[in-house]
């Protein structure tokens, strides 16, 4: 997997992601560069190439002169995510994604969740976007600081979360106003796909539905935007309960 962009490569180096080699624009060779220092410290080989070659190698077309060849993303387990809350000594806070397909949405969700202190994200292994170069790029380095679990069955993951005391809420229309719902304590938030929302079979399996009030004529929000608003409302309630 390629990690592209200055901040993304720097975060990968800082957070111990296994990198085989970093390709850098040869015009940067004489720079005093923290990425080159980090690469040297981590014993990662650096190769300087003309920008045109980097352009040809790039998947995202936004490499900024830095492309790292990394091992494929290492997914965590649901238990690993729960362990994070124990280490942080707070009630678990988990986001589950049901069929998010757009890598830009997925990357934006990762960024928001990391910024808000979410313990981890759970995604299905089929019919959903997996971690790829575009997701890494869109997360702007956040992906290196948050655990992501990939599961074959979201219901089973929810069972595990419930057994560990989490209340699971769906962010969807036709539920209770999110600003009137008590969202403190151990919580999991399920965010659905861009086109179809959360599947009915999964929705009925959860403890409740929270809805963002919509005052305009458009009847839905982008998935990553809805996630951001809901996650920060949960954070607000947890911080100021």
Using DSSP's 3-state secondary structure scheme, residue 191 falls into: strand
Region 65-92: mean pLDDT is 94
**pLDDT of 188:** 98
Helix (H) or strand (E) holding 3: strand 2-4
Q: What is the pTM of this model?
A: 0.84
- Percent above pLDDT 70 for the chain: 100
Q: What are 100-123's pLDDT values in tens digits?
A: 999 999 999 999 999 999 999 999
Residue 219 clears pLDDT 80, i.e. is over it: no
CA distance 68 to 66: 7
Residue 194 clears pLDDT 80, i.e. is over it: no
Residues sharing a CB contact under 8 Å with residue 110, sequence separation 6 or more, in sequence order: 121, 135, 138, 139, 142, 143, 146, 148
Q: Calculate the dihedral angle through the C-alpha atoms of 183, 84, 106, 166, rounding to the nearest 10 degrees.
A: -30
Region 2-16: mean pLDDT is 88
**pLDDT of 57:** 92
Domain ranges for the chain, please list them.
2-70, 78-239
Region 2-22: mean pLDDT is 88
CB 130 within 8 A of CB 123: yes
**pLDDT of 231:** 98
Region 197-215: mean pLDDT is 91
CA distance 158 to 24: 43
Region 171-198: mean pLDDT is 92
**pLDDT of 193:** 86
The superfamily CATH assigns to domain 78-239 is: SPOUT methyltransferase, trefoil knot domain (3.40.1280.10)
Split at pLDDT 50, 70, 90, the class of 11 is: confident
CB 141 within 8 A of CB 11: yes
**pLDDT of 16:** 76
* CA-wise closest residue to 238 among 133, 104, 22, 94: 94
Q: What are 27-58's pLDDT values in tens digits?
A: 988 777 888 989 988 899 999 999 999 999 99
**pLDDT of 210:** 96
Q: Which CATH class is domain 2-70?
A: alpha beta
Using DSSP's 3-state secondary structure scheme, residue 68 falls into: strand
CA distance 108 to 112: 6
């Amino acid at each position: 997997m390629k990690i592209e962009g200055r901040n993304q490569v720097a975060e990968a180096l800082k957070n111990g992601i296994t990198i085989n080699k970093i390709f850098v624009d040869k015009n940067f060779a004489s720079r005093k560069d923290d990425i080159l220092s980090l690469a040297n410290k981590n014993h990662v080989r650096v190769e300087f190439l003309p920008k045109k070659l980097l352009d040809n190698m790039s998947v995202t077309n936004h490499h900024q002169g830095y492309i790292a060849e990394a091992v494929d993303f290492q997914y965590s387990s649901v238990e690993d995510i729960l362990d994070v809350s124990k280490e942080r000594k707070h009630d678990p806070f988990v986001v589950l994604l049901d069929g998010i397909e757009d890598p830009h949405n997925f990357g934006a969700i990762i960024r928001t969740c990391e910024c808000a202190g979410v313990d981890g994200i759970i995604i299905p292994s089929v019919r959903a976007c997996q971690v790829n170069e575009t997701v890494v790029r869109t997360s702007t380095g956040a992906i290196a600081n948050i655990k992501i679990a990939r599961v074959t069955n979201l219901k089973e993951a929810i069972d595990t979360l419930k057994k560990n005391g989490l209340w699971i809420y769906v962010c969807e229309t036709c539920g209770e106003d999110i600003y009137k719902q008590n969202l403190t304590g151990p919580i999991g938030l399920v965010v659905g796909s861009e086109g179809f929302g959360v599947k009915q079979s999964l929705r009925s399996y959860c403890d409740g539905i929270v809805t963002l009030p919509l005052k305009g004529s458009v009847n839905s929000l982008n998935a990553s935007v809805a996630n951001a608003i809901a996650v920060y409302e949960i954070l607000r309630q947890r911080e100021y309960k």
